Amino acid sequence: MTTDFAATKRMFHLPDGVIYLDGNSLGPLPLAATARVTETVVAEWGELLIRGWNKAGWMDMPSRVGDRIAKLIGAEAGHVVMGDTLSIKVYQALASALEMSDRRVILSDTGNFPSDLYMAQGLCRTLGSDYVLKTVAPEGVVEAIDDSVAVVMLTEVDYRTGRRHDMAALSARAHAVGALIIWDLAHSAGAFPVGVAAGGADFAVGCTYKYLNSGPGGPAFIYVAPRHSQKVQPALSGWLGHESPFAFDRDYRPGAGIERMRVGTPPILQLAALEAALDVWDEVDLDDLRSASLALTDRFIAGVEAACPTLELVTPRDHARRGSQVSFRHADGYAIMQALIAEGVIGDFRAPDILRFGFTPLYVGNAEVDGAVAILSRIMASGSWNRPEFKARSKVT
């Protein structure tokens, strides 16, 4: 290993007394982001005003930052652009992909993130009754890809279980029957080396506030394979995806390649935070990251299974099928997570019964794993999660 994870850890602010195993929900604050956001507000917005769009390079940020994301997801340079939320980008990819097919079936799986399914349901309703979203169990996807399918829409890593799909195999299967495939990389980008080009993705989308540490509500990204990018008709055809936005023509003409997937005015403060957060990745070899992640998840699984027999592992033991998280099932999962958080171990609960722990080698090491195992073991042995204050539900966990 050449990556110095002690050095990357020093690039983040981590509160005292916290073991943070929830970077797969919201990454922590990169120290450089504070100064960068302040500079954007004070020196750029404050002093340049409207001139910031040119002089501070705001207008090009979605492409400039997209090029840095491209390196992390194995995309060809110039084929990723930032903007909107992940749900919007799912919709955009899906509507554009459906327009490239004569078929009307969208295939997904029951492990997909609900918002992806909701956006597809809404699009089907908008398009009319012939369009349908079909969902099967994750393990049944490969058999369900047949020549009725227009578009396969999958999230590579299951947000609850941490199960990872085989991108290359499923993309090949989709293409073999004449379907297109969209990959949601929400739990992949920054979690391990992703290969959208090598893996045959037609479209890929993802968010940046998880493993990429862009902060709450950071912008999403979209990738369109080069074989499609000059001919795809963008759904959500906004002015900044126009060939010449400042000509103010009354008719839409798509911009060059991936630029056409831009929609409206980009969120510059969020992009500034993201751009600073991406500096951390200059120091990281993604293969090192993957090795470290697997070592951490293996260590956590072994520790918890040795000490907590009532927690049922739901994450695959097979490295090839695992993302960068570990999930356990327990009927009292919600209360157990609240008890953990009260002791400074922050993970996530996902309904109905999943305890989810994200492992992010940039700032989590063996000490954090061992500390979390010790605290979880103590909670499970004592039954302390049964207190009323841990069982009362709040809106978000």
Catalytic residues: 113, 184, 209-210, 356
**Residue 218 makes contact with its own copies by CB under 8 A:** yes
Binding span for its own copies by CB under 8 A among 72-80, 221-229, 343-351, 374-382: 343-351
Binding span for its own copies by CB under 8 A among 13-21, 68-76, 282-290, 324-332: 13-21
User: In the set 165, 173, 187, 242, which binds its own copies (CB under 8 A)?
Assistant: 242
- Whole-angstrom distance, CA of residue 397 vs CA of residue 19: 16
Binding test (CB under 8 A) with its own copies, winner from 8, 97, 105, 113 = 113
- Distance between CA atoms of residues 389 and 21, nearest Å: 22
Place of tokens 């390196």: 71
Return the residue matching tokens 């295939």: 107
Is residue 375 a contact residue for its own copies (CB under 8 A)?
Answer: no
Lookup: tokens for 129:
């009754």
368 binds its own copies (CB under 8 A): no
Which of 136-144, 174-182, 247-255, 369-377 is the region at the interface with its own copies (rule: CB under 8 A)?
247-255
Q: Distance between CA atoms of 355 and 329, rounded to whole angstroms?
A: 6
Closest CA relative to residue 3, chosen from 372, 300, 295, 306: 295
* DSSP codes joined into one string, 287-344: HHHHHHHHHHHHHHHHHHHHH-TTSEE-S-SSGGGB-SEEEEE-TTHHHHHHHHHHTT
Q: Which stretch binds its own copies (CB under 8 A): 171-179, 264-272, 295-303, 376-384?
A: 264-272
Could you give the C-alpha distances from 9 to 3, 15, 201, 207, 283, in angstroms and in order?
11, 12, 32, 22, 11
Q: Which of 9, 32, 45, 321 binds its own copies (CB under 8 A)?
A: 45
219 binds its own copies (CB under 8 A): yes
- Looking only at the bridges linking them, the beta strands covering 132-136 and 325-329 are unpaired
Does residue 37 bind its own copies (CB under 8 A)?
Answer: yes
Which residue, 51 or 317, has its beta carbon nearer to its own copies?
51
Find the binder of its own copies among 4, 15, 169, 383 (CB under 8 A). Answer: 15
Q: Is residue 267 close enough to count as binding its own copies by CB under 8 A?
A: yes
Burial 107-144 (b: 16+ CB within 10 A, else e): bbbebbbeebbebbeebbeeeeeebebebbebeebbeb
Q: Nearer Cβ to its own copies, position 352 or 383?
A: 352
Interface residue with its own copies among 2, 129, 227, 248 (CB under 8 A) is 248
One residue of 11, 19, 33, 314 binding its own copies per CB under 8 A: 33
Q: Which of residues 187-206 bind its own copies (CB under 8 A)?
A: none
Site size for its own copies (CB under 8 A): 93
- Residue 136 phi, psi dihedral angles, 5° rounding: -130, 170
Which of 332, 348, 353, 368 binds its own copies (CB under 8 A)? It is 348
Sign of the Cα torsion 23, 26, 27, 28 reads negative
**Residue from 5, 91, 281, 357 in contact with its own copies (CB under 8 A):** 91
Q: Is 264 in the site for its own copies (CB under 8 A)?
A: yes
User: Is residue 310 within the footprint of its own copies (CB under 8 A)?
Assistant: no
Report how far residue 333's alpha carbon sits from residue 354's, in angstroms, rounded to the nearest whole number. Answer: 6
Stretch in the footprint of its own copies (CB under 8 A) among 188-196, 218-226, 321-329, 361-369: 218-226
**In the complex, minimum distance from the CB of residue 175 to its own copies, in angstroms, rounded to a whole number:** 24
CA-to-CA distance for 313 and 53, rounded, in angstroms?
50
Question: With binding defined as CB under 8 A, does residue 215 bind its own copies?
Answer: yes
Q: Tokens 């992009």 — which residue?
A: 271
Contact predicate 30/277, CB 8 Å: yes
Residues 116-145 that bind its own copies (CB under 8 A): 117-119, 121-122, 125-128, 135
28 belongs to the binding site for its own copies (CB under 8 A): yes
